[in-house]
Amino acid sequence: MKQNTLLRTLVLLTVLGLALSMAPQADSLPNGIIGQSEKGCTCHGAIPDSGVAPSIEGLPATFNASTTYTLTISFTGGPSGQSGDPHNLGGFNLAVSSGILEAVDDTVKIDGDQATHNGIDDDIDGNGIQDSIEAGGAAIISGNDYTSWLVNWTSPSSGSSTFTLAVNSVNGDGQASANDAWNLMAITVAGPSSGAAAEELQSADPFVVLVTLIIVSGILLAAVILYTFYRVSPDGFNWESFAPWIIEWLTSTDHKKVGTLYFLAGFFFLGVGGIMAMLIRIQLAVPGNDFLTQDQYNMFFTMHGTTMIFLAAMPLINGFANWLIPLQIGAHDLALPRINAMSFWLQPFAALLIFTGVFSGQAADVGWTGYAPYIVSETAHTGTTLWAAGQIMLVASSTLTGINFLATICGMRAPGMGWMQMPLFTWSIFIANLMLFLSIPAWGVGLIQVYLDRTIGTAFYHVASGGDPLLWSHLFWYFGHPEVYVVIVPAFGVISEVLATSARRSVFGYRSMVYAMAGIGVVAFIVYGHHMFTSGMSPTLRFVTMLTTMLVAVPTGIKIFNWLKTMHKGSLVYRTHTLWALGFLVTFTLGGISGMFFPSLAMDTHLHETYFVVAHFHYVFVGGTVFGVFSAVYYWFPKMSGRMMDEKWGLLHFLTGFISFNGIFWPMHKLGVLGMARRHHTWFITTDDYANIPAEMASWNLFITVSAFLFFFSNFILVGNMIKTVVSGKKAPADPWGGWSFEWMCASPPPTPSFDPHNPPVLRDANEHIASEPSRLGQWFERLMMPEDDSEVNH
């Protein structure tokens, strides 16, 4: 037995060592990614110059199907020809969204859906020698020597076609120089209207894919709801009872029903956010991919972030909080049940606003951080306004949730349950809500400012009128950093419960666990500046936040070591929730360690906004929060549904999920260090001329995409397991795992109201002291709160 253990330890360490050996190596020389412009212009000069006027002649107002048009492309203005030299006058690039381009003469060459002038230094066969030299040294005809060119365009059978023309006016000295100028124009020509719909279907627009998938998921969700309704009483099934049944769900203020609604919404949006992640990963799988346009990519990563944090992670956490807080503290319901229902219902409608843009193809493209002034600029999509509007509703929702949980936990604990007898999950929800509650108004105000800037035209973030973009960053991160702790701290609570129960021990260092969480809660408010180390914020502030950020590691470390020590001399029973909790310890530790690289300033200037950051926060969001949520699902699902989940499926889910998760995010550390920047819709492997992203990056990105799909599909095992459990799971006992807190005292599933409000349960304490007696400070505070004669109100 002992030897066996040693062997296993060794094997595990070898695997870990192998994993670590994949750590970004310090000897490769990165240089970044470069992109190919969709404008297709290899123009001289940095900025479009309105002095150059491009034109396309020969285009009809609406084109006929499959007809060839001869287009004359020309430009006027700029330095062209001013030197008197008839050579090197200019160039052009014409891109069409549909139809076929053909060259009329030698001055033009065609490359797919683009046409451009024939250059003197062309190398069409790609052998590294200029064609002109190959042709015997004589300069072949150069398209550069003209200011107008002819192109044949054969129209498609239907749809409309967009022509994007870039022209370049050069001064004729044969090389790029500062007074060369260029400009862009775009024109869209409609085709025969009858075939428009067919054309839309033909092009598998990722947007169409997304919208279709969302609708399909919605229909599936509806089907599941109907099926559940059917399952409630298969024998007495009739449609007349459907309306009351659904109204009961729509109007319920029972904490368990609202909690279930949160789960439904949370899992639905976890799926939607996951679909978007997959589309993003398809785009990034190979260099220079054009699966998504930059426009679509920008919308998808914005929606992915917003959806995952606000519409998936938070509702899932709220689902558990709703279900478990009253059960754990022995209350019959939350303090304000109707406000609780309000908190929930604000969310689907907020989601509707946020996603309105997706359905119109103009979703917010500002990133979940929505940095000013881009967020109020006209270049940001119109859906940004509704994105802000939806977020304002989510702020309202979170505020109401905060009031509810803080009041419930402060005021509705069962007799005998002092502050220091609360289950750790309750503590974690308390601290998370306190953080959220005190920070989210700042962001709410920022969002209202943005919303008003974008609607009635206030000028909070209009730089021309003196607006300060950094003000937004401060308001956002004052909320944003506590927010990331808001989603991780409840996972801490879950892991504390699960590990202790699985190891059949009481959690090690209960008090230090509470103080560590409280410490994180306090520190959360003074560290946010580390998101702004390179933002031009005052150096003094940067320095202070560097110091405070370093501190975060201490309470987090305490928690990790306490969890490890909890297992000591315990009897660890391996259930699926245990596995996820152990997996959490691995991934969260890795995420915590990579987090320590950022407060170190000289490193942050390199790592900021790279894939290293992406890797870090996914390790803590997914490896932390989502693994915590999975653990909690397996742990409490029997309590909620009254049926035991399938352990074999659970094991399969854990193995595939855990491995593919690491496959996605571990290599991202490396990509980031080597020079892959975040939020870029594409990346290139260029020639050796630029010490650049090495070729191995391509394989890593492909590997990440494959892992991402594995991870995505592995979660269907969980969904399947849940459905299977509800339909045919074994009946669950009241306390299947051997936990101590009140929820295990109720039947599975618990009754409504969860406890009798007139006869609440009483918590006993295995330790000597009498818990129901508040401490001296508590007594003083109680006297302060309660007037001597409580029939009189002091004013």
Give which of 192, 151, 248, 172 is closest to 61, Cα–Cα.
192
CB-CB contact of 124 with 67 (8 Å): no
Instruction: Provide, rounded to whole angstroms, the least separation between the CB of residue 66 and another protein.
Output: 30
Least distance (Å) between residue 426 CB and another protein: 11
Nearest in space to 315 (alpha carbons), one of 346, 354, 339, 344: 344
- Residues 393-412, interacting with another protein (CB under 8 A): 393, 396, 399, 402-404, 406-407, 409-412
Q: Which of 473, 392, 480 lies closest to 436, judged by CA?
A: 480
Q: CB of 57: closest distance to another protein in angstroms? A: 26
Of residues 231 and 679, the one with the C-beta less far from another protein = 679
User: Under the criterion CB under 8 A, does residue 90 sit at the interface with another protein?
Assistant: no
- In angstroms, the CA 120 to CA 124 distance is 11
298 is a site residue for another protein (CB under 8 A):
yes
CB-nearer residue toward another protein: 138 or 785: 785
Give the contact letters, 577-606, x = binds to another protein (CB under 8 A), - = no: -----x--xx--xx--xx-xx-xxxxx-xx
> Chain-centre distance of CA 571, in angstroms?
38
Task: Identify which of 192, 169, 160 has the alpha carbon closest to the alpha carbon of residue 55.
Answer: 169
Angle, helix 314-329 to helix 383-411, in steps of 10 degrees? 10
User: Does residue 681 bind another protein (CB under 8 A)?
Assistant: yes
Answer for the pair 685, 695: CB distance below 8 angstroms, yes or no: yes
CA atoms within 13 A on the CB side of 597: 19
95 φ, ψ to 5°?
Answer: -115, 135
At closest approach, how far in Å is the CB of 616 from another protein? 12
Residue among 18, 47, 61, 770 that touches another protein (CB under 8 A) = 47
The residue range among 63-71, 196-204, 535-543, 654-662 that interacts with another protein, by the rule CB under 8 A, is: 535-543
Interface of this chain with another protein, residues 445 to 484, rule: CB under 8 A: 445-446, 448-449, 451-452, 454-460, 462-471, 474-475
Q: Which of 251, 334, 400 is nearest to 755 (CA)?
A: 334
Q: Which of residues 762-781 bind another protein (CB under 8 A)?
A: 762-767, 771, 774, 778-779, 781
Distance CA 160, CA 156 (A): 8
Within residues 180-209, the interface with another protein by CB under 8 A covers: none
Can you tell me the distance from the alpha carbon of 354 to that of 303, in angstroms, rounded to the nearest whole number? 8
Residue of 49, 145, 254, 646 that binds another protein (CB under 8 A): 254
Residue 618 in contact with another protein, rule: CB under 8 A: no
Q: Which residues are catalytic?
A: 304, 333, 368, 397-398, 481, 483, 485, 496, 530-531, 556, 559, 678
Among 160, 295, 641, 713, binds another protein (CB under 8 A): 295
Closest Cα to residue 399, out of 434, 449, 374, 360? Answer: 434
Alpha helices in 22-127 (DSSP H): none
Q: Which is nearer to another protein, 238 or 764 (CB)?
A: 764
Burial 366-383, CB ≥16 within 10 A → b, else e = bbbbbebbbbbeeebbeb
Among positions 3-22, residues that touch another protein (CB under 8 A) are: 5, 8-9, 12-13, 16, 20
Q: Which of residues 359-388 bind another protein (CB under 8 A)?
A: 365-367, 371-374, 377-380, 382, 385-386
Shortest distance (Å) from residue 196 CB to another protein: 25
Q: Residue 683 interacts with another protein (CB under 8 A)?
A: yes
CB nearer to another protein: give 387 or 712.
387
Interaction between residue 689 and another protein (CB under 8 A)? yes
User: Using the rule CB under 8 A, which residue among 126, 127, 235, 795 binds another protein?
Assistant: 795
Give the C-alpha separation, 251 to 258, whole Å.
Answer: 9
**Interface of this chain with another protein, residues 306 to 345, rule: CB under 8 A:** 329, 332-338, 341-342, 344-345
Q: Closer CB to another protein, residue 107 or residue 439?
A: 439
Which residue's CB is nearer to another protein, number 33 or number 73?
33
Q: Nearest distance from residue 176's CB to another protein, in Å?
A: 4
Q: Which of residues 24-43 bind another protein (CB under 8 A)?
A: 26-43
Nearer to another protein, 63 or 619 (CB): 619
Quick one: tokens of 694?
């090495």
Residue of the chain from 72, 504, 694, 703 that contacts another protein (CB under 8 A): 504
288 is a contact residue toward another protein (CB under 8 A) = yes
Return the number of the residue (67 or 772) whose C-beta is nearest another protein: 772
Please, what is the minimum distance in Å from the beta carbon of residue 344 to another protein?
7
Any contact of residue 573 with another protein (CB under 8 A)? yes
Give dist(CA 401, CA 410) in Å, integer: 14
User: Is residue 231 part of the contact set for another protein (CB under 8 A)?
Assistant: no
Q: Which is nearer to another protein, 192 or 370 (CB)?
A: 370
Please answer whether residues 199 and 250 qualify as being in contact, where contact means their C-beta atoms are separated by less than 8 angstroms: no
Q: Which stretch binds another protein (CB under 8 A): 233-241, 626-634, 697-705, 787-795?
A: 787-795
Phi/psi of residue 116, each to 5°? -145, 165
Distance CA 308, CA 272 (A): 9
- Residue from 227, 230, 242, 574 touching another protein (CB under 8 A): that is 574
Residues 530 and 613: beta-carbon distance below 8 Å? no
305 binds another protein (CB under 8 A): no
Q: Which of residues 740-759 bind another protein (CB under 8 A)?
A: 740-742, 744-745, 747, 749, 751-753, 756-759
Q: How far is the CB of 26 from another protein (least distance, A)?
A: 6
Contact between residue 765 and residue 421 where contact means Cβ atoms under 8 Å apart:
yes
Buried/exposed code over 726-739 (b: 16+ C-beta within 10 A; e: otherwise): beebeebeebbbeb
The tokens of 563 are what? 């969890």
Specify burial of residue 50 (Cβ count, 10 A radius: 0-12, 13-18, 19+): exposed
**In this complex, which beta carbon is closest to another protein, that of residue 69 or of residue 345?**
345
Task: Please state the closest distance from residue 195 (CB atom) to another protein, in A.
Answer: 29
CB of 505 to another protein, least distance (A): 5
Sheet holding 148-154, edge to edge: 53-57, 68-76, 148-154, 100-103
When the beta carbons of 350 and 712 are compared against another protein, the nearer one is: 350
| Closest by CA position to 703, among listed 666, 653, 658, 674 | 666
**Residue with smaller CB distance to another protein, 273 or 390:** 390
**Gap between the Cα atoms of 111 and 115, Å rounded:** 6
What three-state secondary structure class fits 118?
A: coil
Cβ atoms < 10 Å from Cβ of 85: 13
Q: Given candidates 488, 520, 524, 546, which one binds another protein under the rule CB under 8 A?
A: 546
CB nearer to another protein: give 286 or 336. Answer: 336
A 10 A CB-CB count for 753 gives 15
Among 684, 700, 711, 712, binds another protein (CB under 8 A): 684
Amino acid identity at 597:
F
Part in contact with another protein (CB under 8 A); list of ranges 81-89, 149-157, 549-557, 630-638: 549-557
CA distances from 394 to 167, 257, 399, 440, 518 (A): 47, 20, 8, 10, 25
Residue type, 238: N
Q: How far is the CB of 279 from another protein (least distance, A)?
A: 16
Residues 320, 306: contact at Cβ < 8 Å? Answer: no
286 touching another protein, by CB under 8 A = no
* Cα 413 to Cα 427: distance, rounded to the nearest angstrom: 12
Q: How many residues bind another protein (CB under 8 A)?
A: 242
Q: Could you give the CA distance from residue 102 to residue 95 in angstroms, rounded to a whole number?
A: 12
Map residues 697-726 to x or -, x wherever contact with another protein holds by CB under 8 A: ------------------------------
